[in-house]
Amino acid sequence: GAEIVLDQQKAPSAAARLANLPVVRSACARLSVLYTGTKSRHPGLKSACEVLESSVTAVGRAACYRASPVIVKLEPQISYANDVACKSLDWLEASFSVIVSSTEQVTFPFLV
């Protein structure tokens, strides 16, 4: 007979969902432009930033390597925490429409 294959795609993690919120993406893009512009205008600062970027990358790789066994062991707890965080994000998105807006769309009436 015909076999039905279900596509079991994993739902995005809470961290991925948070990173993809328009207000977060927009804020990160603005910060990136500011950071890049600052580095290009200040050569001495650019060198220091590049050394720091390289160091952070190396430390991040080492941390991921060393944390992998712990992450595997704690996967059920991490999965549960992710589920709770996703439900909380669902509630936040439903309750506060501003978080699904880009920074350009957000207004602060108290600043006007």
Contact assessment for residue 14 and residue 86, using Cβ atoms and an 8 Å cutoff: yes
Dump pLDDT digits (tens) for 82-100. Answer: 999 999 999 999 998 888 8
Q: Is the pTM of this model over 0.85?
A: no
Q: Which residues of the chain have pLDDT under 50?
A: 1-2, 4-8
Per-residue pLDDT at 38: 95
Contact assessment for residue 100 and residue 28, using Cβ atoms and an 8 Å cutoff: no
Alpha helices in the chain (DSSP H): 14-19, 22-41, 43-73, 75-95
Per-residue pLDDT at 1: 46
Per-residue pLDDT at 8: 47
HSE (CB half, 13 Å, CA atoms) of 23?
12
